[in-house]
Each structure stands twice: as C-alpha cells, then as structure tokens.
Amino acid sequence: MSRVRLFFYRRLGLTAGRRNRMEAGRCRRLANIVLGDHNAFTAGCWLWPQNTDYDGVRIRIGSYNYFNRNLMIDACGYVEVGDHNMFGPDVYITDSNHQFGLGVSPASQPMSDGRVKIGSHCWIGAKAVILKDVALGDYCVVAAGAVVTKSFPPGSVIAGVPAQLLRAEAEVLPEPTLAPGEYAESKELTQ
C-alpha cells in the first residue's frame, strides 16, 4: 500500500526520492513537500504545510530518517530535517505560533511564521515538541516529553519543559561499518 500511496502523492505534486515508505497518515499541499531517499513514516504521521497557495517548499526532509507513529510536522514557514534521524512516537514539530492579546481571540489573529531546522543524526524522543525558530545541530538528543523553545548546538542532550541542556558531547563517535543485517557484538555479552 505504501508504494501505491507514494505513487499517487507524486502525481499530486510530492517530490520524493527512492525507497521511501509511508504508512497510513495525512499529507496536504504535496507540492510544498520534498523527501530524500529511504525515509520511513509509520502509521499516523502528518506532513501538514499551511493550506494556502505557495510555490516554494515548506517541508524538506533529507534521507534515511525514521518517523515513528503519530508524528506531525506543521509548517507555515519552513521546516527542514537532515539525514539519519530517529523520531519517537507522538512528536510534534511546528514553525509557527498563534498571535494573541488581551481581548483578542487567537483564532482571529494571523499566524506568526518562523523556521525549524533539525540537523543530522539526531534522536528525538517520544512526545517531544519542537517549536518555532528552533535549530538543533547534528547529533542532538531530545528527551521524551521535552518542549524545545530555543536552539542548541551539535551534540547537545536536552530535556525538560522548557528544554534545557543536560550535557554537550565533546566528540563524535565513528559510524560503525556493518553490512546490512550484521549486528555488532558486545564484548560483555560474549565473555
């Protein structure tokens, strides 16, 4: 079903690379979405650009990302996701905010648009919320349930409401070079 869904999405304007998998979910304004290669979207994922005429890209997703169930990317401005990221279930990413004021309904006000950029090799925990004008550098870890309201540099481990820096990783570990289907064995398990 995923191939059929992607076939029709492409016909409706989606730009998508090779070997993406998209289970049941919702997308609109497909011409405003660009997907790289080898991304996996599990059931309930929403890619939701603003429902207005626009000739550009509002959601750009790199390659080799895994999006767990019920993720929503809500884009009025621009949301960019790098490569090799993992997103837990129920993650919400938005680049906009409702305007409000005393005596004025937020529903009657225009949205305040911004940007969100998530680097590569990040791990976003379950039920995390990433808000407007946030940039996360490469190799960031966002704890489950965190609400990210500001930007963090590469290697940051963040948690809390609002999210705070727990630690910054000083060095990047080398990527393991394993063949598909091969698993690294721990010395502790083999001794």
Element (H, E) at 9: helix 2-11
Mean pLDDT for all residues in the chain: 91
Confidence (pLDDT) at 191: 42
pLDDT in tens, 49-84: 999 999 999 999 999 999 999 999 999 999 999 999
Residue boundaries of the structural domains of the chain: 2-190
Is the pLDDT score of 185 beyond 50? yes
Please give the Cα distance from 53 to 56 (Å, whole number): 9
Which are the catalytic amino acids?
98
pLDDT in tens, 120-163: 999 999 999 999 999 999 999 999 999 999 999 999 999 999 99
**CA pseudo-torsion sign 50, 53, 58, 64:** positive
Confidence (pLDDT) at 1: 73
CA triplet 103, 105, 107: central angle to 5 degrees?
170
**Long-range Cβ contacts of 11-20 (<8 Å, 24+ apart):** 17/63
Confidence (pLDDT) at 181: 58
Region 36-40: mean pLDDT is 97
CB of 136 within 8 A of CB of 156?
yes
**Long-range Cβ contacts of 16-25 (<8 Å, 24+ apart):** 17/63
| Domain 2-190 CATH assignment equals 3.40.50.150 | no
Confidence (pLDDT) at 189: 44
The reported pTM is 0.87
> Percent of the chain beyond pLDDT 90?
78
